[in-house]
């Protein structure tokens, strides 16, 4: 935890210096500098929430990395940089021992039932389980279409489980553009 605090402070200091330098160089407005400071504070709060295993911070972080808005791209990259440093430090100290399982199959074959049963077994064995489902996208909204979460009633209520449906948004192959990043966020939040 101490390493995470030191890393976070060093990162914030470096970012502030970079922003100050950019402000002076570009002669940007005070409003722009204030906006950047607020964004930096948001990233810091999200990161600290992830390290503290806060589910709301995890949900907001995944939403941020899934966002297609240009203004969110830099924030997402800043957050992922902090998360990758934290996960690397945990691996080095043997505190991060997660494993990943991919599951695919045609509709109606019992994937959700298997995930719920296996997930409950794992949480009952002391693990924290993150389930990242990848659903077809709605042609109208671009959001998830199926909502597999509704079929995993018991696992959804388990405090040691986190289920997040994500739309494919046109990507094929069973994963989204941000699945690997979402896994990193889940690992940082303590899901193994």
Q: What digits encode the pLDDT tens for the residues 92-136?
A: 887 767 888 988 888 788 888 899 999 999 999 999 999 998 876
What is the model's pLDDT at position 185? Answer: 96
pTM for this predicted structure: 0.72
Predicted confidence (pLDDT) at residue 35 exceeds the cutoff of 50: no
The answer to whether 77 and 70 are in contact (CB under 8 A) is no
* 186 has pLDDT over 60: yes
Task: Answer yes or no: is pLDDT of 181 > 70.
Answer: yes
Q: Which of 2-16, 54-68, 121-135 has the lowest mean pLDDT?
A: 2-16
Q: Given a cut of 70, is residue 190 above it in pLDDT? A: yes
pLDDT at 71: 86
Helix (H, G, I), strand (E, B) or coil at 131: strand
Q: Which residue has the tokens 């939040």?
A: 189
**pLDDT (mean) for 131-149:** 59
| CA-to-CA dists, residue 7 to 17, 31, 85, 109, 192, angstroms | 15, 28, 8, 46, 23
CATH code at 2-92: 1.20.5.170
Asked if 8 and 48 touch (Cβ cutoff 8 Å), the reply is yes
Q: What is the CA radius of gyration of the chain?
A: 19
**113 compared with 138, residue with greater pLDDT:** 113
Positions of CATH 1.20.5.170 in the chain = 2-92
């Amino acid at each position: 935890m101490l390493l995470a605090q030191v890393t976070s402070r060093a990162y914030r200091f470096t970012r502030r210096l970079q922003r100050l330098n950019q402000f002076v160089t570009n002669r940007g407005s005070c409003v722009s500098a204030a906006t950047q400071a607020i964004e930096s504070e948001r990233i810091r709060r999200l990161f600290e929430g992830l390290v503290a295993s806060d589910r709301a911070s995890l949900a907001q972080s995944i939403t941020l990395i899934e966002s297609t808005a240009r203004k969110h791209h830099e924030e997402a990259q800043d957050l992922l940089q902090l998360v990758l440093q934290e996960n690397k430090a945990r691996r080095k100290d043997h505190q991060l021992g997660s494993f990943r399982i991919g599951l695919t199959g045609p509709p109606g074959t019992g994937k959700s039932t298997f995930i719920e049963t296996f997930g409950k077994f794992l949480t009952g064995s002391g693990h924290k389980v993150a389930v990242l489902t990848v659903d077809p996208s709605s042609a109208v909204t671009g959001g998830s279409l199926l909502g597999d979460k509704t079929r995993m009633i018991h696992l959804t209520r388990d405090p040691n489980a986190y289920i997040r449906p994500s739309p494919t948004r046109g990507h094929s192959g069973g994963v989204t553009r941000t699945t690997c990043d979402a896994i990193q966020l889940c690992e940082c939040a303590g899901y193994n």
